[in-house]
């Protein structure tokens, strides 16, 4: 595992354990990579509840309750969608914290408004304010996805 990913995951594990909190994720462009990095850590079932891999728009709607109207108006790679994904995670799990991510990893799929490397994130502590952010990453598909995993984990750490 990449050292930066491993360090971020280990730091998050320690912080979640210390806070007696659990995390659940909703992933699109990262395809379950966040859940994989977290569950590579022995004992992760103490603080990692579940991961939703909602790659298609249909999965986002069925599994997380993302509105078809939101998807039609804003597109899957948007602040509105990751916010609804995070809300869906908290609605569909007992986790204390939610993380969601949706982006364009490439090599295709980009537009002038949303170029390849555009990734939206949302993080929320149950009962707390939802935080969202957008990043534009450089590199190929693997690099964009790897950077997205790191930012996603660091975002959860910032909430704790």
Structure confidence by residue, pLDDT tens digits, 121-154:
999 999 999 999 999 999 999 999 999 999 999 9
Tell me how crowded residue 145 is: count the other CB atoms within 10 A of its CB.
22
Is the CB of residue 147 less than 8 Å from the CB of residue 116? no
Report d(CA 26, CA 55) in Å as an integer. 9
List of E strands, 54-96: none
pLDDT at 3: 86
pTM (global) more than 0.75: yes
**Strand bridging mode 23-27 / 118-125:** unpaired
Of how many residues is the chain composed?
160
Is the CB of residue 96 less than 8 Å from the CB of residue 22? yes
3-state secondary structure of 55: coil
2-53 tens-digit pLDDT:
688 999 999 999 999 999 999 999 999 999 999 999 999 999 999 999 999 9
Specify which residues 27 forms β-bridges with. 53, 101
Q: Which domains does the chain have, with CATH numbers?
A: 3-159 (3.90.950.20)
Report d(CA 11, CA 54) in Å as an integer. 26
């Amino acid at each position: 595992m990449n050292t930066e990913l491993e360090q971020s995951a280990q730091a998050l594990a320690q912080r979640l354990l210390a806070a007696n909190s659990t995390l659940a994720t909703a992933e699109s462009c990262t395809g379950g990579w966040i859940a994989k990095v977290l569950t590579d850590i022995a004992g992760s079932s103490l603080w990692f509840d579940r991961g939703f891999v909602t790659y298609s728009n249909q999965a986002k709607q069925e599994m997380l309750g993302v509105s078809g109207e939101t998807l039609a108006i804003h597109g899957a790679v948007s602040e509105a969608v990751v916010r609804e994904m995070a809300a869906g995670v908290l609605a569909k799990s007992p986790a204390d914290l939610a993380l969601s991510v949706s982006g364009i990893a490439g090599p295709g799929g980009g537009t002038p408004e949303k170029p390849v490397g555009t990734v939206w994130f949302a993080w929320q502590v149950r009962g707390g304010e939802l935080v969202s952010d957008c990043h534009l990453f450089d590199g190929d598909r693997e690099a964009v996805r790897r950077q997205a995993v790191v930012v996603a984990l660091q975002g959860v750490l910032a909430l704790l």
